[in-house]
Amino acid sequence: MKKWHVILAAALAMGTMTALTGCGSTEVDLNQYVSLECEGYDSAGTATYTIDWEGLVDDNRKAFDLEEDASKKSVKRVARKLEDKISGELDETENLSNGDTVTFQWDKIDTDKLEERYPVKLSYSDVKLEVKGLDEPEDFNPFDYLTVSYEGEAPHGYVYLETDSDIPYYVSFEADQSDNLSNGDKIKVTVSSYMDEDLEEECLASGLKLTETEKTYTVEGLESYVQKLDEIPEDIMARMTAKAQEKYGQIVADNWNDPTSYKGITFVGNYLLTPKDTEDYTFYENSLYFVFKISAEANETKEKFDYYWCANFNDLLLKDDGTCEVDMDYFSTTWNTFEKNNLYYDGYATLDELYANEITEQSDEYNCESNVQ
């Protein structure tokens, strides 16, 4: 008994993690030689375990029949035997954060032969290990490196996405709608991986913490085709009205046998045609009709009568400076004629006829806004 106490006291004094069993074997706790190595970034760390086999043998030389002055080669030889007979694994190894706890579980413990060969009793249990030492990733908002611009004319504008060259990690940007845009439309831009992988994990592996994956933008700054009558500046309206009246005066001068029978022209109002489906092709983006009442007098009977004539300007464009662009020299007039008192007049006998032939005929493709009285 005295000898047992001396050995135990010596072992404790040396700081070894052993104890003597009742049958003369030295108990060695395997758990004390398991350690955790962590790499990577917080929330995306990886872990591996190591077992210090040589340290285990070196601390417990007598338990493995080694003299205190045994060579390192002898220690390594015994350590390899232990490593061959004993192993384990971690229950988690990826996507780890500082402060997580992982468990090392022994899954191969062939101790019988070892304990027959050496005066040792090996003890072990699951080992709880704390994850620590992972670096903190830097915040990364990819939208800080995205320039969004809009080009074209509403309602057929399109968005252009440009990635800055100094972005720390290349990502793919995609808009949920890229064309047929108008000012005020909302588009959602999302980011994804070029490699069809989990982008958040990719970024973390590079030391970046993804802070935003989608963002909504409002379309602005597009020049736009006129959609409403009240969008057209008054001065542009006045110039187009004058152009149309001038054109009819020329028709009278060139074609009427007795220009004196022409008694005047009165502006009645406008019809504005705009496409019903902005995504389908149409002949024009808008068409603004100017409707006039023509007053005339029959040559022989001197009967006074009125009829209706129209001219239309196409593709009126609102510029980003607030002005309106339209080709004042390129516009159309009605081709229709009607007969009265054996004479033919350009236009329509009634306003209803004008509307039916000029406007209703296009109602499948175009909406109509009217201020005709």
Give pLDDT tens digits for 195-216. 878 999 899 989 999 999 999 9
pLDDT at 268 over 50: yes
Give the model's pLDDT for residue 24: 65
Give the model's pLDDT for residue 22: 45
Per-residue confidence at 13, pLDDT binned at 50, 70, 90? very low
Q: Report the predicted TM-score, pTM, of the whole model to 2 decimal places.
A: 0.67
Give the model's pLDDT for residue 302: 86
Token pair of 101, please? 């706890």
pLDDT at 311 over 90: yes
Give the model's pLDDT for residue 178: 96
**Could you give the CA distance from residue 102 to residue 90 in angstroms, rounded to a whole number?**
7
CB 311 within 8 A of CB 244: yes
Helix%, strand%, coil% for the chain, nearest 5: 25, 40, 35
Position 3, amino acid: K
CB 101 within 8 A of CB 129: yes
Going from N- to C-terminal start, the domains of the chain cover: 2-130, 138-224, 226-370
Position 112, amino acid: D
pLDDT at 254 over 60: yes
The whole-chain average pLDDT of the chain stands at 90
The tens digit of pLDDT for each residue in 62-106 reads 999 999 999 999 999 999 999 998 999 999 999 999 999 999 999
Per-residue confidence at 12, pLDDT binned at 50, 70, 90? very low
Is 125 exposed, middle or buried (CB count within 10 Å of its CB: 0-12, 13-18, 19+)? exposed
Residues 325-336, mean pLDDT to the nearest whole number:
96
> What number of other Cβ atoms are within 10 A of residue 369's Cβ?
15
Phi, psi of 153 (to 5 degrees): -125, 135
What Rg do the C-alpha atoms of the chain give, in angstroms?
A: 46
DSSP letter at 260 equals: G
Residues 25-39, mean pLDDT to the nearest whole number:
94
CB 211 within 8 A of CB 48: no
Per-residue confidence at 7, pLDDT binned at 50, 70, 90? very low
